[in-house]
Chain A
Amino acid sequence: MAKGFDIRRQTGFATVAMACFVILYLPIVLLVVYSFNAGTSVAIWEGFSWRWYQTAWQNEQVQAATIRSLVIASWATVIATSCAVLAALATTRQGTFRGYTFVFAMINQPLMVPEIVTAVALLIFFAMIKVATGYTGLFYLIIAHSAFCIPFAYMPIRARLQGMDLSLEQAAMDLYGTPWRVFRRVTLPQLWPGILAGAMLAFVISLDDVVITEFVKSAGQDTLPTYMLGQLRRVVTPEVNAISTALLAISVVLVIAFFFLSRNKK
């Protein structure tokens, strides 16, 4: 590359960059704007109003779906993050072992297998269990969400573990720390930012999922995204905009919270 090459100085860079930003964010801006529409259309502006937020807030179906989404996302986050921590420890602290690449691929499998395939597989698998046990509760959704959230939680935790100074753990072991105490007193306190990042990622991914949830859920188990999808099939009102905007706000708050948390740790 020639000395002094700067991508920002290339002809058309600003134009392309602006186009990308517009394509990315204009739809979201419009979505947010129309969530405040006083009318019933998602395309014709009729004045400012909080009415769709009130409608959504008072809609019992929305309430139930929201609670269900949060319950599933919370459980899935806890399970997936715990599994991810264990997997990350095994793949960074045990040296290389036979089948390492295979294990690594297996952990990340949900990222590579098309989601629809996982969804169909889970649908069939859970149907068999449902027939055998008669149980039709939220457990299936929690397990399904935990499974596809693991790689998202795993990535930042593994990155953090790999970035950590190994001699700290060796020093702790040298100072009579048993493996468990070394983990508790030295590894874990430094791993928190990674665990937090992984957990937040898992939470957001779970909250957002449509495809697998749609296939796995039993009747009356709509989560917020699948409820919205169901609504869109009938009539589109700015209520959907309002719910989306609320979800967006939650994600933005989470991201900002994480940003400050990880900055303070430094």
Chain B
Amino acid sequence: MIEINEVSKIFTGRGAPFTALDNVSVTIRENEFFTLLGPSGCGKTTLLRVIAGFIDPTKGTVTLDGQDLVSLPPYKRPVNTVFQSYALFPHMTVAQNIAFGLEMLDKPRAEVKKTVDEMLALVRMTEMADRKTSEISGGQQQRVALARALAPRPKVLLLDEPLSALDFKLRKDMQLELKRLQSETGITFVFVTHDQEEALTMSDRIAVMNAGKIRQIGGPRDIYDHPAERFVADFIGDTNFLDVELLSIAGEQATVRLPSGAEAQVRAPGEGVAPGPVTLAVRPEHASLSGGAGAVLPGTLANVVYFGTDTHYHVDLDGGGRFVLRQQNQPDQAQTRTVGDRVEVTLAPGVGQVLRD
């Protein structure tokens, strides 16, 4: 378990001081696939490097299973990193790269050999053991970097955007591969990415970061279905933002008045919102055009875009604003709606999330 407590990092260079981490506190659980998600410059990599020991926090504490990490140099921390650039040693073979950490720990030769063989098998690189790292492909380098970091059996594996250099297909494969490695080894993974889809597919929990702060922590579903604030809702997936009036709130249930005047039953964060004007976030696939129970937003169909798996309907709402819906396509489905049609956007009870700001 990693406990990060009120960690701040302020870089003071020639220019103005830059706050990369602003009072960040988070607990990462044992055996968890934990993702730090955010746009570039949000502080996610800085936080990872604070855990690895390459950056000293300006203030705050980091402990691993109760042991203080901040006072330890990187080579005494039981955590290993998979670097964005892989950072494979160019003057060593694949097997020598994987053996490096074990040799630094002065493990007996036989044990090093055995572990290296296991690791090569784990990442399916046994045939490549004696190749130079410059002679293998990007995806293979990625797997070697993983094996090298896993070989010393760290308590925590830190991954710094490890998939960003791979092409789309390979990235998909590696996402599953990473998930498999995590469950097979039982090691806690702390994964940094700016790719929301990657975060949603792989993580047990996600911390969404912006401007040096953690904005929300939760499971992929929590984060996607119930974003607590506008930044999170906007950064992850597509969202419609509606200006509504919060009428009443009870726990996470709330009643709002839509711009159309209809009252809708929606979700709200447990705290931090009060009756009055608020923003409501609605995912495009959560609203419906085919009626049913719920609050209604009438409008005119402005555009229909076919995407293969689904169709996007752009609706100009009466009273201003545009609402985008997404509906999954069925085989041999007739195109029934055309531009200019009067339509009703329906929000079923529980659809829509009140945002904190």
Contacts and interface: CB of A to CB of B under 8 A. Distances in A.
18 contacts: A170-B54, A170-B87, A171-B81, A172-B89, A173-B73, A173-B75, A174-B80, A175-B75, A175-B104, A176-B75, A176-B76, A176-B104, A176-B152, A177-B100, A178-B75, A178-B104, A185-B100, A186-B89
A92 B98 CA distance: 28
Given A165-B87, A190-B91, A176 B52 contact: no
Contacts of A178: 75, 104
B85 interface: yes
Interface string A21-33: 0000000000000
Interface string B69-109: 00001111001110101011111000000001100110000
Interface in A146-202: 165, 167-168, 170-178, 181-182, 185-186, 189-190
A173 B72 CA distance: 12
Contacts of B74: 170, 173-174
Given A167-B83, A181-B104, A185-B100, A174 B89 contact: no
A112 B206 CA distance: 57
B148 interface: yes
A168 B101 CA distance: 13
A88 B54 CA distance: 21
Contacts of A174: 52-54, 74-75, 79-81, 149
Interface in B5-56: 52-54
Contacts of B87: 165, 167-168, 170-171
A165 B85 CA distance: 10
B49 to A, nearest CB: 9
Nearest to A166: B87
A255 B73 CA distance: 42
Q: Which of A165, A167, A182, A189 has the most CB of B within 10 A?
A: A167
B90 A190 contact: yes
Q: Which of B75, B76, B80, B83 has the most CB of A within 10 A?
A: B75
Interface residues on A, range: 10 to 19
Nearest to A188: B91
A175 B83 contact: no
B130 to A, nearest CB: 18
Nearest to A167: B87
A173 B88 CA distance: 13
B148 A175 contact: yes
Contacts of B53: 174
Contacts of B75: 173-178, 182
Contacts of B152: 175-176
Given A178-B75, A186-B89, A190-B90, A172 B100 contact: yes
Contacts of A170: 54, 74, 81, 83, 87
A91 B290 CA distance: 69
Q: Which of A165, A167, A171, A177 has the most CB of B within 10 A?
A: A171
Given A174-B74, A175-B100, A176-B104, A168 B54 contact: no
A221 to B, nearest CB: 43
Closest 5 CB pairs of A and B: A175-B101, A171-B87, A176-B104, A167-B87, A173-B74
A131 B136 CA distance: 65
Given A170-B54, A170-B83, A175-B80, A189 B91 contact: yes
Nearest to A190: B91
Interface string B50-66: 00111000000000000
Nearest to B52: A174
A144 B52 CA distance: 45
A181 B73 CA distance: 14
Contacts of A172: 89, 100, 104
Contacts of B89: 168, 171-172, 186
Given A170-B54, A175-B75, 8 more contacts: A165-B87, A171-B81, A174-B74, A174-B81, A175-B104, A175-B152, A176-B75, A189-B91
Contacts of A185: 100
A221 B76 CA distance: 54
A186 B75 CA distance: 14
Contacts of B83: 167, 170-171
Nearest to A186: B89
Contacts of B101: 175-176
A177 B104 contact: yes
A189 B91 CA distance: 7
